[in-house]
Amino acid sequence: MRQKNELQEVVEFLMYPEKFSALGGKLPKGVLLCGPPGTGKTLLARAVAGQAGVPFFHSSGSEFDEVFVGQGAKRVRDLFKAAKERAPCVIFIDEIDSIGGKRTSSPAHPYANQTINQLLNEMDGFVSNEGVIVLGATNREGDLDKAILRPGRFDTKVQVGIPDIKGRTEILDLYLGKVKHDSSVNLEILARKTNGMSGAQLQNLVNTATIKAAVDNKEFVSMSEFDYAYDKLTMGVDLKSRIRSKEDLMITAYHEAGHTLVAYFTPDAMPLHKVTIVAKGGSGGHTAFLPAENMEWHSTKAQYKARIDTGMGGRAAEELIFGREKITGGARSDLQSSTNIAFYMVTELGMSDKIGNRVLHKKNADKEMVDSEMKAILEDSYKRAMNILVTHKNELKMLAEALLKYETLDADDIKAIIEHKKPPTKFSQTSSLLKKPLQQLPPVIPGLGVSGVTPPPIESLGSRQDGSMSS
């Protein structure tokens, strides 16, 4: 873990300060931990003090806020005084942007800067070899005053980001060790499908699965509970009580089968995990993938195009089966995600032949050329998706029929249908969605209740990165 290695020198200093003093070396007085919420900044700070075996002074930036003038500054003085008396030690200030934000010159708040000024003075008031290390945590680094970040204060910055697959594996293994689970729980699959989740989200995933198993009166947590927990946290709860017409289910089945089939026959698409027409949250169904490990850091042009192709598969399937005039609004999120990817390919990633290897900003972008290149990428993608579906129209129908019958198909089921031309046999119950008498079902409203697809965003989008596809 990179963050652990970066903080190891702080631990070494706290444990063996004389080693650094003998050489005349000095460590930074302050270390700033920056990263999204839930990534473990507070845990890292506690781990530094715990491993070094020194006192840990924990405070939140909001604790220094006070309606009475001077109270915030006084609390800063008291904190540093207590820390110096027990050195070597660690001072940890969580949400430091609350007191370390950019200073104001507004006459309406003449005392607004007292607390941050006191913090700056305190950090200048001791030498680094006194054994007091100040750790600050924030997810709003841009709001910090420049004086906080200058050399001699918080001059070392450690980025605490979303864990990679190795980190997720270790985090999940830690939390799984605290719950009773059976041999069906596959740690590798869980780590791959939770791409983009923070440590706090992974803990919540394990806890949600455990609660589900307890509600179902199970003695152990199985993989099915983790599938349920993942879907619940990323898309919402199952809406099996939602009354859906036969036409609605059929459109959804072909839409999701379109995504699935295009992904299956596109070499650079992500591996399939499962496809379902069970309504979850605001979607009527979804297709899930297991991202490859290398996709966390690098994605090729072919992989970006494959994501767009897969996203176009739902709309293409609707047009192929029901006709151009019967396509629905269920592909709205598909088109939005595909457009986003195409835009970044053209303007940010240098993946357009006409625009070349350069980054276009709004002020120097040729909007007409960008639109033309994006349109070409999207139209070519739609043609490739449609060509796959036309070529494998029989498999498309078999996938849709299997979804109508079984609701959910995993990767093995999908492979059996496409390669062996027969439906899966491991399911024994007919879909509960189709057990309702048709006379009780309301008429279908075009464009509503139909699933969409949101391919995992590329790095430039800065959004959640996982393998789910849903509206």
Instruction: Tell me phi and psi for residue 326, to 5 degrees.
Output: -110, 10
Reading the block at residue 353, the tokens are: 């032949």
Separation of alpha carbons 67 and 65, rounded Å: 7
Which residue has 């450690």 as its token pair? 158
Closest among 212, 220, 163, 210 to 191, alpha carbons compared: 163
Query: Cα dist. 166→143, 163, 294 in Å?
Result: 31, 8, 12
CB atoms under 10 Å from CB of 243, counted, come to 12
Separation of alpha carbons 386 and 72, rounded Å: 64
CB atoms under 10 Å from CB of 442, counted, come to 9
Reading the block at residue 151, the tokens are: 């050399």
Hey, which bits of 204-338 come out as E strands? 272-276, 286-289
Question: Could you tell me which residues are beta bridge partners of residue 289?
Answer: 272
Question: Could you tell me which residues are beta bridge partners of residue 280?
Answer: 238, 283
Catalytic positions, written as ranges: 256
CB 304, CB 338: distance < 8 Å:
no
Residue 408 is classified by DSSP as: E
